[in-house]
Amino acid sequence: MSNHNYKYDVALSFAGEDRRYAQKLAQLLQARGINVFYDEYEEATLWGKNLYEHLLEVYQKQARFCVMFLSQHYARKLWTNHEREAAQARAFKEKREYILPIRLDNTDISAILPTIGYIEWSNANSIANTIVLKLESEQKTRSPVITRNSDNDLNSERDVDYTPLRDLLQAGHWKEADKETFTVMLKAVGKENGFLDDESMKFFPCTDLCTIDKLWARYSKERFGFSVQKHIWQSVDKDYEQFGNLVGWRMNRKWTGIRDVIYDTDAPRGHLPSWGGVREFGRSVWCGWGEDISSLTSLLERCNL
């Protein structure tokens, strides 16, 4: 099969009774920058859809791999059988390992041969790491794990010029790109200076947020970007302190300042952009989300990054 730009790196297929396993894996994969089809992340997309046709499209055409949670519940559900049949049709057509089974128990699943390699559910982190390795292995002979639009896709609802930001990121000038990110975000809400307050975030254009995110993700090789930050935020169940610890915005149980930002790819995943100037605390400008992050996370969720 030739190179193909898939919408999802992984599509999860599971019975409702096994949601806790699928949810945990989805969170861990998203925290690693993997695009996951998991129904709770797609509520707006699925609303009003013909689910039979839409799921057929997802499991047969839109994912690089299908991860199946095999169990007694999976065996008897109509929807999981529909997803399985769609995935098997794809696997049969391509004659390669498309279905990645995870066994939750020893139930036999129709048409899933016992000779197919599978892993048993044990440690969620270990399974997430194995999936990442699978994707990386497949990437060497096929298309990139996560694909982004071309450099010319610099769309803006407010006629903001994103060429300087693109050029800075392409050159690896992370500090200057971080400053430029704040500048273009101000322009996107009609400001020349000041801060992005809660009111600004409510009306921030999603097209512009997505353009900025795609540029950061592309040139950092998926290490930085708003979508990466959102995935990490979701993976820690929206605990702002855990989030701050993971992205390197908290040290020794204290939030860091703008002087502590690391402008290098050795920085923790999600460390940049730093949201410089989003909020002001006393005499220093906060470099990240801080303790009151509701408006910022609402923006990321509203724009469905």
pLDDT tens across the length of the chain (305 residues): 334 568 889 999 999 999 999 999 999 888 877 889 999 888 888 888 898 898 999 999 999 999 999 999 999 999 999 999 999 899 888 877 889 999 999 888 877 766 678 889 988 888 988 898 888 777 655 543 433 434 457 989 888 999 999 999 999 999 999 999 989 998 988 888 777 777 777 778 888 999 999 999 999 988 999 888 888 888 888 787 888 888 888 888 887 777 888 999 889 999 999 875 443 333 333 344 444 456 677 787 788 77
Rounded to whole angstroms, the Cα distance separating 241 from 253 reads 8
Do 126 and 35 fall within a single domain? yes
Within this chain, do residues 112 and 178 fall inside the same structural domain, yes or no?
no
Q: Which domain holds residue 119?
A: 8-139
Shared domain check, 126 and 169: no
The reply to whether 261 falls in a domain is: yes
* Pair 293, 167 in one domain: yes
Rounded to the nearest angstrom, the gap between the alpha carbon of residue 83 and the centroid of all alpha carbons in its chain is: 22
**Pair 111, 239 in one domain:** no
Domain annotation covers residue 89: yes
Long-range contacts of 289-295 (CB under 8 A, 24+ apart): 289/240, 289/243, 289/244, 289/249, 290/240, 290/255, 291/240, 291/255, 293/240, 295/198, 295/201, 295/202
CATH assignment of the domain containing 44 = 3.40.50.10140
Same structural domain for residues 174 and 283?
Answer: yes
* Domain shared by 193 and 277, yes or no: yes
250 within 8 A of 274, measured Cβ to Cβ: no
Contact 305, 213 (CB under 8 A): yes
Number of independent structural domains in the chain: 2
CA 235, CA 23: separation in Å to the nearest integer?
10
In this structure, the answer to whether residues 198 and 278 fall within a common structural domain is yes
